[in-house]
């Protein structure tokens, strides 16, 4: 997968000078999600967003985010290019560093983009990295991925996709909420995920590992956990044994059309 985006480099003091038009995109994305997320985002995310106190009118500096993450769960961010290898991704998570691509989306991809930009990483994921269960799951996942084979990592990617990126939370006696950063940072998918179009299923590890996905469309299926602390329970499961079983059983039939080939 290639990308049109190039990450911005920090100066000698570690500060990235974002141009006015990119700060404006951040401000508009933030303002739009500030309207969309109440009543849709899970409380743990909203609590984390309050702790981070992100600037609303400009792209934040990573040092500002690190100060809060280090104090709450011992995590920090790591500036990376637009796309990094699986190996580097797992290395960072295993060392409690969250990769953040230091570019922001264009207006043409305001609602949804395939590559994770700084709004996706900081606004979408970092608030929940202040939560111990979410932070622990991310750390365990990184260590598993680092030790996994190339073939096993393909299955592990589905676990990350349907939890950290596109996970939903549905308490037995409560309302549906979002905790996946891919949804929380996407104005379009925030509304779509809570609507009546997608299929929503209770989380089942083997089912998740066998479910194909596409990165360039709204998701046809989401998986729900009952509470954010359930991520700790997933971390204690024998995930790699389930990966082995999923590889034996094969993938479910996709709930989407195959991607059209370029002519």
Annotated binding site, which residues?
A: 120, 125, 165
Active-site residue, 125 included: yes
Select which of 121, 125, 138, 186 is catalytic: 125
By the 10 Å C-beta count (0-12 exposed, 13-18 middle, 19+ buried), 57 is classed as: exposed
SS percent in the chain: helix, strand, coil, step 5: 50, 10, 45
Decide: helix, strand or coil at residue 88: helix
Active-site residue (options: 138, 185, 186, 242): 185
**252 catalytic per annotation:** no
β-pairing verdict for 168-169 and 177-178 = antiparallel
Does the annotation mark 185 as catalytic?
yes
Q: Which of 44, 91, 165, 189 is catalytic?
A: 165
Spatial distance between the Cα atoms of 169 and 155, rounded to a whole number of angstroms:
22
Contacts (Cβ under 8 Å, ≥6 apart) of 96:
73, 74, 75, 76, 135, 139
3-class DSSP string for 9-52: CCCCCCCCCCCHHHHHHHHHHHHHHHHHCCCCECHHHHHHHHHH
Q: Write down the catalytic residue from 120, 189, 224, 227.
A: 120
Burial (Cβ within 10 Å: 0-12, 13-18, ≥19) of residue 111: middle
Judged by DSSP in three states, 152 sits in: helix
- Taking the C-alpha atoms of residue 61 and residue 17, their distance in angstroms, rounded to an integer, is 9
Residues flagged as binding site for Fe cation: 120, 125, 165
The yes-or-no answer on residue 64 being catalytic is no
Cα distance from N-terminal residue to C-terminal residue, the chain: 17
Whose CA is closest to 206, among 253, 229, 240?
240
Catalytic residue positions? 120, 125, 165, 185
């Amino acid at each position: 997968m290639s990308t049109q985006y190039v990450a911005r480099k920090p100066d000698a003091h570690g500060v990235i000078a974002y141009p006015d038009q990119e700060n404006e995109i951040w401000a508009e994305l933030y303002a739009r999600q500030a309207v969309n997320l109440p009543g849709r985002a899970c409380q743990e995310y909203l609590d984390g967003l309050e702790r981070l106190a992100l600037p609303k009118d400009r792209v934040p500096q990573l040092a500002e985010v690190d100060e809060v993450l280090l104090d709450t769960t011992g995590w920090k961010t790591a500036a990376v290019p637009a796309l990094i290898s699986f190996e580097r991704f797992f290395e960072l998570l295993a060392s409690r560093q969250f990769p953040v691509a230091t570019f922001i989306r264009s207006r043409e991809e305001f609602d949804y983009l395939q590559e994770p930009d700084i709004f996706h990483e900081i606004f979408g994921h970092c608030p929940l990295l202040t939560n111990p269960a979410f932070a622990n799951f991310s750390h365990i996942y990184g260590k598993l991925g680092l030790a996994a084979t190339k073939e096993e990592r393909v299955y592990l990617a589905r676990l990350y996709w349907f939890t950290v990126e596109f996970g939903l939370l549905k308490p037995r006696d409560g309302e549906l909420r979002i905790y996946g950063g891919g949804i929380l940072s996407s104005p379009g998918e925030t509304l779509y995920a809570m609507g009546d179009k997608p299929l929503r299923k209770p989380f089942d590890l083997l089912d998740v590992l066998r479910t194909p996905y596409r990165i360039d469309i709204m998701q046809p299926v989401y998986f729900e956990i009952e509470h954010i602390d359930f991520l700790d329970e997933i971390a204690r499961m024998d995930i790699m044994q389930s990966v082995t079983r999923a590889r034996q059983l094969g993938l479910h039939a996709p709930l989407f059309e195959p991607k059209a080939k370029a002519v």
